[in-house]
Amino acid sequence: MIYFILHIYLVSMEKALFGAGCFWGVEETFCKTPGVINTLVGYSGGDTINPSYESVCQGNTNHTEVVLVEFDNSKISYEDLLMVFWKCHDPTTLNRQGPDIGTQYRSAIYYYNEDQKNKSIHSKNEYAKSAGLNIVTEISEAKEFYKAEEYHQKYIQKTGLHCAI
């Protein structure tokens, strides 16, 4: 019986990878989203192996600050996560979110399969059309995810600080 329950749980678990500015506030937003099981902040989309926060901030790794979202697709759909993504940042500003400037703060969706790719493109087009906005969000195949340093994980929960998101 335990195997059966575990098997069902694992089958409905998926992951998504989003860049929407400083990862602290983005992670907090997704943490509070029903159906999200776990989040991790880190770096992806770049060229450097095992980047550090300092190297990413210097702007020479081409990595994006990202949030890896593990979710139960029987409780929340990928499309619903995309709506959270669109609403939690400004997808019209290139390499910038509020006062944070640099390529590491770019708006990005990194997809894990063709279904996510197609849903991401469709969602971007629909969001741009309905909002009348020029969306600059990058949509690319997910590269290696590098977990950020431990002090960045659940940063807002740990410190009680607030983010502009």
Q: Give me the phi and psi of 36, to 5 degrees please.
A: -80, 125
User: What distance lies between CA 63 and its chain's CA centroid?
Assistant: 13
Identify the CATH number of the domain defined by range 13-159. Answer: 3.30.1060.10
Residues 90/142/25/60 CA torsion (nearest 10 deg): -80
Give the separation between CA 2 and CA 138, rounded to whole angstroms.
41
- 103-147: pLDDT as tens digits: 999 999 999 999 999 999 999 999 999 999 999 999 999 999 999
Predicted TM-score of the model (pTM): 0.91
> Of residues 22, 31, 57, 88, which has the active-site annotation?
22
What pLDDT shows up at residue 140?
98
**Res 9: pLDDT:** 53
Q: Which residue has the tokens 């994006």?
A: 64
Mean pLDDT of 86-101: 95
To the nearest whole percent, how much of the chain has pLDDT over 90? 85
Report the C-alpha gap between 72 and 17 in whole angstroms.
14
- b/e map 93-127, b = 16+ CB within 10 Å: beebbeeeeebbbbbbbbbeeeebbebbeebbeeb
Q: Is 163 a residue of the active site?
A: no
